């Protein structure tokens, strides 16, 4: 088999390699973008616009404020924000100040948040006030000393912003009461106060290299606890340049890529949306921020307002849009890229999408560990392929057996990947790192696939027991750890079952020793300890669970149809 058979299948205009070394850090890439595009729009949220100049000035001020708090170089700063203008400002501030971004899912429970803050060693957090009640429960066991609290309307203009904040607090009642413990020298500062103080200070240039850590991107762990994939400045720059190489030819009819309007409905804390946000910044393009994509009616209204060119989504979101009665009245004439990722895209959804929009749904594949996209179908494709496509420029993909030997085209084995975008390992997880890579430097992904002679790969199974709910990884061990703490539960096992809308839904099998324990009792315990997408859809009580001769619960037997 050729060294890189897939490059022959690349569309015209896509380079075979990218050069991350053209930048010394992500910070340099951002500052170049702010300089080049200062007058251009960067984002629109609730019809309020923000320019690159504003992102530059606000992030400089917030970065200077963070430095003034005495955080050590490389300090971890958690970001717990939805898709609002504060996200990009905070991310740029943390990187420019020489620190590491720790993206946090705003829907986390206190248990999940506490683990991530403790594991990452975060000493500061920027958080939307809607989630401060969760932080109140978690903060006591963490090293967080500086809390910056923002309100929904903080960057939406004085009058309109105050109205939005009032509406969120008092009309929608979306800000639960909280009191953050201020013992141990903790400080709580409002976002506006931090920016105001920082504007009177100077941002000191940070000593960074391509090997400095830019992000700790948390992903599920085989132990049941999430672990931080270490993403260096090189990893992030490479991912931006790879995405640029792949997507630019598809936007030829826009003319100037800086005129691109990308829809940011996927959460920016998720690696897929984060990479596309950074690509927009490199281009000087703008994003339409969707703070709550679950409100499909409002989302469709936003899509109707102005032409849009890129719509990245998971299969469930494409599906939800298609089901909305107003969706077909949207003008799709500008749509160049419908990028599916995060979970398997279904052929049925892809067929309906093309019918409704005239734009082919292009499927890609990646992980937090690969800075989003590892492989993607060519943007020139006329039909949905059902494969995960080709490795992007400068990426190697090999199908390997359990011993790490590369297999021939057409043979099934574990998909393994290496390239400048691939993590060097997990944060403070030496045991995990020892088994995560092959001897020749490929990351083992846990997905089983087959590559054809042209370099297209098809996923046939998952080696890991991970459950994929609407593009989010759910690890059975974590669910089982939580459910085992429910009074009356002797043992339990979690599996994924096919689900039309979400890809997979969670089913839990429980053995109990308390006859009064009900399905609702287990569900109530889960609601207190697990974020929404990790909630079991089905709970089934059993007298016993199938086990191997060494006592390991056999999830595969629970999956088998009876």
Phi and psi of 483, rounded to 5°?
-70, -30
CA–CA distance, 174 with 230 (Å, rounded to integer): 33
CA atoms within 13 A on the CB side of 444: 21
3 state SS of 443: strand
pLDDT at 182: 75
- pLDDT value at residue 58: 98
In angstroms, rounded to a whole number, what is the distance separating the alpha carbons of residues 404 and 113? 36
Q: Per 3-state DSSP, what percentage of the chain is helix, strand, and coil (rounded to 5)?
A: 35, 25, 40
Residue 136, CB half-sphere, CA atoms under 13 Å: how many? 12
Helices 233-247 and 271-283 pack at an angle, to 10 degrees, of 70
pLDDT of 555 strictly over 50: yes
Distance CA 91, CA 94 (A): 5
Per-residue pLDDT at 155: 98
Residue 224: the pLDDT is 61
The reported pLDDT for the residue numbered 402 is 87
- Does pLDDT of 550 surpass 60? no
pLDDT tens per residue across span 119-162: 999 999 999 999 999 999 999 999 999 999 999 999 999 999 99
Task: Decide: 282 and 325 in contact? Cβ < 8 Å.
Answer: no
> pLDDT of 39-78, one tens digit each?
999 999 999 999 999 999 999 999 999 999 999 999 999 9
What's the pLDDT score for residue 386?
A: 85
pLDDT of residue 481: 78
Angle between helices 85-96 and 52-68 (to 10 degrees): 50
- Cα 148 to Cα 68, 191, 391, 541: the distances in Å are 14, 6, 40, 45
Which residues are CB-contacts of 556 (< 8 A; sequence separation ≥ 6)?
none
Is residue 319 over pLDDT 70?
yes
pLDDT for 220 equals 62
Q: Determine the average pLDDT of the residues in 291-316.
A: 94
Q: What is the pLDDT of residues 232-251, one digit of tens each?
A: 999 999 999 999 999 999 99
Average confidence (pLDDT) over 466-477: 85
The mean pLDDT value for 284-290 works out to 98
Residue 222 has pLDDT above 60, yes or no: no
**Cα–Cα distances in angstroms (integers) from residue 311 to residues 84, 341, 393, in the given order:** 17, 11, 22
CATH numbers and ranges of domains, the chain:
5-17+231-462 (3.40.50.12780), 26-208 (3.40.50.980), 467-559 (3.30.300.30)
């Amino acid at each position: 088999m050729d060294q890189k058979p897939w490059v022959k299948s690349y569309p015209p205009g896509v380079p075979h390699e990218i050069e991350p070394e053209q930048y010394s850090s992500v910070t340099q890439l951002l500052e170049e973008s702010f300089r080049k595009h200062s007058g251009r729009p960067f984002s629109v949220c609730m019809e309020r616009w923000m320019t690159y100049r504003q992102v530059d000035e606000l992030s400089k001020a917030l970065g200077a404020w963070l430095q003034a708090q005495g955080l050590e170089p490389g300090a971890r700063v958690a970001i717990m924000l939805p898709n609002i203008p504060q996200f990009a400002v905070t991310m740029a501030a943390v990187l420019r100040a020489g620190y590491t971004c720790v993206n946090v899912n705003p829907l986390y429970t206190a248990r999940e948040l506490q683990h991530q803050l403790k594991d990452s060693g975060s000493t500061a957090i920027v958080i939307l006030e809607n989630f401060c009640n969760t932080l109140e429960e978690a903060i006591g066991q963490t090293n967080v000393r500086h809390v910056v609290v923002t309100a929904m309307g903080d960057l939406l203009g004085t009058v309109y912003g105050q109205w939005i904040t009032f509406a969120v607090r008092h009309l929608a009642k979306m800000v639960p009461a909280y009191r953050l413990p201020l013992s141990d020298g903790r400080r709580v500062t409002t976002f506006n106060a931090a920016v105001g103080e920082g504007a009177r200070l100077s941002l000191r240039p940070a000593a960074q290299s391509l090997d400095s850590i830019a992000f700790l991107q948390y992903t599920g762990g085989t132990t049941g606890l999430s672990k931080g994939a270490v993403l260096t400045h090189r990893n992030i720059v490479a991912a931006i340049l790879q995405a640029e190489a792949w997507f630019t030819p598809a936007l030829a009819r826009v003319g100037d890529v800086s005129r691109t309007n990308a829809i940011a409905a996927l959460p920016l804390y998720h690696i897929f949306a984060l990479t596309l946000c950074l690509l927009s910044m490199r281009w000087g393009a703008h994003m339409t921020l969707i703070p709550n994509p679950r409100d499909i009616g409002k989302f469709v209204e936003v899509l109707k307002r102005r032409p849009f060119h890129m719509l990245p989504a998971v299969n469930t979101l494409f599906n939800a849009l298609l089901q909305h009665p107003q969706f077909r009245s949207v003008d799709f004439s500008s749509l160049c890229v419908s990028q599916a990722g995060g979970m398997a895209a279904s052929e049925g959804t892809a067929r309906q999408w093309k019918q409704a929009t005239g734009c082919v749904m292009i499927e890609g594949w990646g992980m937090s560990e690969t800075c989003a996209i590892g492989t993607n179908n060519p943007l020139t494709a006329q039909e949905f392929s059902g494969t995960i496509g080709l490795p992007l420029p400068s990426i190697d993909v090999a199908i390997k057996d359990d011993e790490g030997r590369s297999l021939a085209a057409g043979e099934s084995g574990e998909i393994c990947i290496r390239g400048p975008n691939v993590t060097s390992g997990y944060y403070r997880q030496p045991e995990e790192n020892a088994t995560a890579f092959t001897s020749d430097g490929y990351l083992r992904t846990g997905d089983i696939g087959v590559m054809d002679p042209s370099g297209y790969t098809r996923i046939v199974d998952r080696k890991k027991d991970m459950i994929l709910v609407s593009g989010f990884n759910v690890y059975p061990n974590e669910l089982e750890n939580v459910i085992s703490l429910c009074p009356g539960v002797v043992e339990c096992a979690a599996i994924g079952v096919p689900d039309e809308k979400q890809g997979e839904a969670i089913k839990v099998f429980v053995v109990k020793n308390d006859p009064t324990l009900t399905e609702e009792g287990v569900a109530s315990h889960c609601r207190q300890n697990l974020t929404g997408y990790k909630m079991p859809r089905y709970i089934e009580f059993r007298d016993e669970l199938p086990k191997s001769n060494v006592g390991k619960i056999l999830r595969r037997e629970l999956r088998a149809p009876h």
